[in-house]
Structure 1
């Protein structure tokens, strides 16, 4: 009986447990039960619809894969990038990093209805526009990432409302002005990332009040002035970067006194004087120190040896004022894995064996230092990157033969002769080899020795190689062989390099035609430079890869037309075909290339007009336009230059800090182009393209007026319209070209005066108005008056300095005319006076005579009357 009762109880409890369990399962499995609150879900859904999504990631996956999986009838807490508070259902985290959202973040965006957000990450979306003040309404935010979103304008002061904020990332945007003072309220902030945001002003002093800061990144901005001396107030600071600004003065040694500081980057500023590291008593935790590209001078401080925790040290371009450097001060830094002492301006000769104590060193750059290298040297067992450029090395360093971990070698600009050793190409990890600017004449070993390597970049330019081009491995991505003595035809084996990105063969003796293969076999070629050879034949369409960014085939003997397959090269930035025999009309279709910056068609047989009715020739990024010495004709429309944006305003082409390392991963080539400026031939190389903005249409047959739209190009530096048939007057609006340095309008048919407004162009150092029909006085102004007399020659009507012909001729003529008129007036007055003087007695005499005559006449008449009667 008792047993039966127990069994009954167990059964009842079992049934209850099963019922409760099943009920729980039904509750949690019910499709109508959602954790996400409906108002939160609706706000998210509306937020998604505020933007349009566009593009694909590099791996081919749709760029909107996060928001694409959002479905309106599902639990929003399960959506990608969403996290909710499990107790309240409020959304506390929104992560849409790199989701290709396009459109402005509106001030009334539904985003700001998510009042409980604690983490917001919209980084690397295209949210171009201003950052609205409404961002300050998300008062519970702890982490805010808006880096890389293309915001512009000022940073809103409402950010100061986010008092719980611990992490703020506004880097890589287009903000301007200074940081708002309200950020003084962010007293819980630990990480502040403002790199590459174009901010300006002095160092934001309010940051010294944010005592919880562990990271400050102000790199690549426009800050200036001196850093505060009391930086040690940031007692918890671990990482501090102000590289790429314009800070000047002495660097505050108080930073080195912060015990937690691990990362310190000061490169590319104007800090000067001697560096004071201070009295470091306890072992330093500093691991990263970069002082590159400043104005520090004097000896490298010996106290640097106390920074025993350093693994990264960059002192490149330190000016020791040609003093002797004691390199033994670095021997205490046994943890170094990166050491750059390049171009420190010392007369010391360094024995490379000194660095045998650095067992962990993987990166070493001693460029610009005189080196002594023993043939029996054994050192740097783990070296991966070694740069010994311009070190006066006369023999190939044999110690490299055993460096099996070496992946990058640069021994350029030395005095090494003979042949390149065979063992170099057998180093198993070698991928980048720069042996340019030496006196190498050949390669040891078999012809295919290089082909058996895994080389990615090889730079053998500016040597004395004359043998056929070496056979290159399939892994080759960058090959630079310019300025040698290579001859014959360009080998077709080049076409078989499937990964080839850059091919530089300029300044050799190649002949024959350009290989017809790159379009078919190699679709990744982005740089093709073949200038200054003896290549001939037509410019083949098959030589054009759709990936081309830079094409230079100038100074050859190419003929035919410009290949129209260039229209497919939407990435093309640089096109130079100067000094060939290309016979074609103006390539209007080039206006469809959105990234074109340099167009040089000089010295060919191009002909016809360069404008067409109904065709707007807009080159928004063009910086150099040279079509000189062709046979172009016609009248340029008044609005011809209206759409040339890059010459109209200052446009940034590089958003990162300029670096001496630029080109390390793609070869050391630099685009170059010759141009005429200030009456002289000059060559632009590398950064010159971002500085110079030029137009040269000289040596053609253009006629009519100079287009007034040229005055829109306010950033223009060189303008050459000489040797044409332009007529009419010089537009006074040329005075708007405030950056103009060189102006050549010679050998045309221009008339009228030289506009006086041109005298206000303070940068205009050279000008030429000769061989025109100009007249009148030469304008006053320091720049104009300082020109050579030849700049105004053969204008018969011009006068004034610097010509010897004064402008007095007309004044004398006018004076003489006035004097003649005055004399005539005087003569007339005298005549009238004389007439008046003679008039009175004349009248009196006349009356008397008249009276006598009348009396006589009366008597004579009476006598006749009597006679007749």
Structure 2
């Protein structure tokens, strides 16, 4: 006899399905075609009782708040109202994961005597989720008193003033994740919180603007604490806390100050210590010398440390894989013959000086290297460039290297070398390179780079060489770089015409050539090529305020990804090609072209005008007379609008519409502290630490 799922469970799941919006058919298997609800997508049942025990329906998108911005759309995710009452009625349901969807409101059961058996609840990154009574945490803690895992990261809990008190009733809680929830109070006066079983506490990227609360240091069973990216200030307590089994402590990017307490060196289970980007002062030698031999990650960069750091500070750190050091007043003084007992995967150094630490050349496992604001010499440079061939992500920012790099071969997947006084020609790259940023240097020639004969197919997607001394013409060699998505050569001395081979860049979505000396320049002339539709992924096109002429190619009507278009103030003529794409823009995209006609302009094309008897009106009939005033009035308005639209069209829509442009915008504006530390370091932590299986228990394992 084949057992099917319980009928009551099936009806409750159907009730839940009917209350949500499912644009991509995630719940399409929840139907009469599949009678056994235990075989529905995301549903797991007990093998014996056939009662529903787990529901796993996370939306398949990136869940990192560092990459996925709150404004990103989730058109394929579950949406609408989240009716928790129907799910709580699943009496054997213990595991519920609806993370990263796009639910708008949540409705919970109003029965005060009701209690759910859910042990694992994950609603994280439903950014628009709100509770109609603004007491979501109180309801959850009351109805799910047996919770062991709770993740509400990314949900706006700004009005949950008593969030801590609401959650302290969860005495069985093992993991609590409330990252990026706009929480403001951590109750700094509270001495004890009833988290008697809590092992993982993650409260990063909130708005705490107080000292570290005493209750935090009285959590005796805690093994993981993350309070990074807040506004915490004051000093760490000098007295020894109760969390002697602590394995991970993240306090980076706060305003903490004072000396590092000695007890940090007495946590013999500590594997990850991150105090970067604070205002800690004083020497660090004693603390480093006493750190646990189990330590895997150590981040102390961007503080106010003083004194000297040498090989004597690393006597027992043989398991270290990730290291971040450096302060303006900290002196690096390593013995030239010292060979560390550790092999790093990620190394971040700031304010090196007076010399480049020779022990770095012994690190054969290094994959990520960041060096910034260096005061020291990189000599011999040949030895330095040799070690970079093993590195996958190399970042050199604001260093005084003063070197000709014409003969260097770059071989890292990601190369960011900004503000280093590099000179000579743009260096060659291997097929491995995907991201190349050489902005704000003194490079003078790009021809050798663009026309190089690469061994194998190139994979370069991003090329940024803005704000250099590039001169001469752009060679007609762009057909060698068909993988390019973004190109920025602004603010150089490039001359001549834009080469025809630019039409080979069919994947291009961003191109910046302004502030050069290109012939015809924001005043170009000629016609738009009929092959422009080959730029299939183009999202923004601004050709305003130039001397372009001829007809708008019919092929443009098929450019379905085009979201911003500005052809105003040119000499285009004829009818705007028909099609929903070009007619979807406003008349502001076309004004200032006196000979242009057709929707969305109000000017009717001659071939479309008809006399009362049904005959077509010709130009001789005076069809243009009534449009002269429109041309004059819109022309001067278009001059201003064209400039504004060209600026915001490119730098607004391109960057804000897609996920990776959000990351790029943050890269330009907060490159040093956020991207380098959070993206290159934090993202690679998972890759570095967990790939080598160095931690015995990571966040998420406590519940399991």
Query: Structure 1 residue 39 and structure 2 residue 5: aligned?
Result: no
Q: Are 2:569 and 2:638, in contact at CA under 8 Å, matched by a contact in 1?
A: no
1:110 equivalenced with 2:71 (yes/no):
no
Question: Is 1:145 the counterpart of 2:122 in the alignment?
Answer: yes
**Worse-superposed segment, 406-415 or 156-165:** 406-415
CA distance in 1, matches of 2:398, 2:557: 36
State whether structure 2 residue 473 is matched by structure 1 residue 489. yes
What is the deviation of 1:43? 1.8
Q: Equivalents in 2 of 1:336, 1:529: separation in Å?
A: 42
The corresponding residue for 1:382 is: 365
Quote the offset at 1:271 in angstroms.
1.5
CA distance in structure 2 between the partners assigned to 1:665 and 1:490 by the alignment = 35
Task: Work out whether residues 141 and 169 of structure 2, in 8 Å CA contact, stay in contact via their aligned partners in 1.
Answer: yes
CA drift of 1:504 comes to 1.2
1:454 aligns with 2:432: yes
Higher relative contact order (CA 8 A, sep 6+): 2
CA contact (8 A) 1:441 1:463 kept: yes
Q: Which residues in structure 2 correspond to 1:524-673 (within 5 Å)? A: 524-535=507-518, 536=520, 537-538=524-525, 540=528, 545-548=535-538, 559=548, 568=559, 631-632=636-637, 660=672
Does residue 331 of structure 1 match 2:314? yes
**Aligned runs of 1:238-637 on 2, under 5 Å?**
238-252=223-237, 258-278=243-263, 280-281=265-266, 284-300=268-284, 302-308=286-292, 309-320=294-305, 323-328=306-311, 330-332=313-315, 333-342=317-326, 344-346=327-329, 348=331, 350=333, 353=336, 356-357=339-340, 359-373=342-356, 378-392=361-375, 393=377, 395=379, 397-403=381-387, 404-420=389-405, 422=407, 424-425=409-410, 430-442=412-424, 450=428, 452-461=430-439, 462-466=441-445, 468-471=447-450, 473=454, 474-515=458-499, 521-535=504-518, 536=520, 537-538=524-525, 540=528, 545-548=535-538, 559=548, 568=559, 631-632=636-637
Structure-2 residue corresponding to 1:778: none
Residues 1:79 and 2:58 are matched in the alignment: no
Q: CA deviation at 1:614?
A: 11
Residue 83 of structure 1 aligns to a residue whose secondary structure is strand
CA, structure 1 residues 346+376, in 2 after alignment: closer, same or farther (shift >3 Å)? closer
- The change in CA–CA distance for 1:418 and 1:297 in structure 2 (over 3 A counts) is closer
Return the alpha-carbon distance in structure 2 between the equivalents of residues 73 and 177 of structure 1.
43
Q: CA deviation at 1:546?
A: 5.0
User: 1:206, 1:548 → 2: CA distance?
Assistant: 57
8 Å Cα contact 2:309/2:330 also seen in 1: no
Whole-angstrom CA distance in 2 between matches of 1:414 and 1:529? 26
CA distance in 1, matches of 2:662, 2:50: 45
CA contact (8 A) 2:277 2:302 kept: yes
Q: Are the equivalent residues in 2 in contact too, given 1:350–1:369 (CA < 8 A)?
A: no
* TM superposition shift of 1:561: 9.7
| Greater CA drift, 155-164 or 377-386 | 377-386
Partners of 1:361 and 1:414 lie apart in 2 by 22
For residues 360 and 141 of structure 2, the distance between their equivalents in structure 1, rounded to whole angstroms, comes to 60
User: Equivalents in 2 of 1:183, 1:561: separation in Å?
Assistant: 68
3-state SS in 2 of match to 1:339: strand
Aligned-pair CA distance for 1:532: 0.6
* CA RMSD of superposed structures (Å): 4.7
Residues of 2 paired with 1:285 and 1:414: CA distance? Answer: 37
Residues 186, 208 of structure 2: 8 Å contact kept:
yes
What is residue 52 of structure 1 aligned with on the other side?
Answer: 21
Gap regions ≥5 residues in structure 2: 61-75, 603-633, 642-651, 681-704
**Residue 92 of structure 1 aligns to a residue in which SS?**
strand
Cα shift at 1:127: 0.9
Name the SS of the counterpart of 1:470 in structure 2: helix
CA distance in 2, matches of 1:355, 1:582: 67
Q: CA offset at residue 211 of structure 1?
A: 1.0
**Contact 2:541-2:562 within 8 A present in 1 as well:** no
Quick one: distance in 2 between partners of 1:296 and 1:500?
43
* Larger Rg computed on CA atoms: 1
Using a 3 Å threshold, how does the CA distance of structure 1 residues 248 and 49 change in structure 2: closer, same or farther?
same
Distance 2:111 2:126 in 1: 14
Aligned length: 579
Query: Normalization by structure 2: what TM-score?
Result: 0.70
Per the TM alignment, residue 170 of structure 1 is displaced from its structure 2 partner at its CA by: 0.9
Distance in 2 of aligned mates of 1:330 and 1:593 = 63
Change over 3 Å in CA distance of 1:373–1:180 after alignment to 2: closer
The counterpart of 2:158, out of the listed 167, 171, 176, is 176
1:236 matched to 2:221: yes
Q: 1:631: how far off?
A: 1.8
Q: TM-score if structure 1 supplies the norm length?
A: 0.57
Distance 1:83 1:468, change over 3 A: closer
- Equivalent residue of 2:263, what SS? coil
SS in 2 for 1:192: strand
* Deviation (angstroms), 1:439: 4.0
What CA distance in whole angstroms lies between the structure 2 residues aligned with 1:569 and 1:203? 52
- Matched residues in 1 for 2:334 and 2:572: separation? 60
Deviation at 1:346, TM superposition (A): 1.3
**For residues 340 and 566 of structure 1, what CA distance do their matches in structure 2 show?**
52
Write out per-residue CA displacement over residues 4-50 of structure 1, whole angstroms, 9 at most, x where no aligned residue. xxxxxxxxxxxxxxxxxxxxxxxx2xxxx533122221221232222
* Shift in CA distance, 118/435, structure 1 to aligned 2, threshold 3 Å: closer
